[in-house]
């Protein structure tokens, strides 16, 4: 990866229009940007812990919204895909936590790139679909 890599920054394009989700997404983006500028091991561990907290809180929020608004029944395939992506994100973060605990070196840019891809592949696609569905019900 080149040194000119810039992680994703918050923009209106990322906004779902659902305040709680947007606030949680911003939290992860801010942690990712900080990691780019402060890349010692202690900070990496903090960002990975933040990612784990994000997964628990954010995915719980989204999945409750899915149930509340009937997303699982109306869009079963999209819902399954969405939840599967949540589980994959969580699994990856737990693997990184375990590697850090074992003393393995994790390149900071690997984490930054992972979060960046998450926003491009999940937030801008799956979360936007969910948000549009919820907004159509309100």
pLDDT digits (tens, 9 = 90+) for 15-57: 999 999 999 999 989 888 888 887 788 888 888 888 889 899 9
Residues ≥6 apart with Cβ < 8 Å to 109: 1, 5
Residue 128: which CATH number?
1.20.120.50
Specify if 125 maps to a domain. yes
**Count of structural domains within the chain:** 1
Specify if 117 maps to a domain. yes
Specify if 77 maps to a domain. yes
Domain extent, residue 75, equals 18-137
Task: Of 4, 3, 8, give the one whose Cα is nearest residue 121.
Answer: 8
pLDDT tens digit sequence for 47-83: 888 888 989 999 999 999 999 999 999 999 999 999 9
């Amino acid at each position: 990866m080149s040194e000119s890599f810039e992680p994703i920054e918050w923009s209106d394009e990322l906004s779902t229009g659902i305040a709680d989700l947007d606030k949680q997404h911003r939290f992860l983006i801010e942690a990712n940007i900080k990691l780019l500028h402060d890349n010692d091991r202690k900070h990496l561990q903090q960002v990975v812990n933040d990612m784990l907290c994000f997964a628990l809180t954010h995915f719980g929020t989204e999945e409750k919204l899915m149930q509340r608004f009937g997303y699982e029944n109306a869009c079963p395939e999209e819902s399954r895909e969405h939840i599967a992506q949540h589980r994959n994100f969580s699994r990856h973060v737990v693997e990184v936590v375990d590697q850090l605990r074992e003393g393995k070196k994790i390149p900071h840019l690997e984490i930054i790139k992972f979060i960046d891809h998450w926003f491009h592949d999940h937030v801008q696609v799956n979360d936007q679909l969910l948000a549009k569905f919820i907004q159509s019900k309100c």
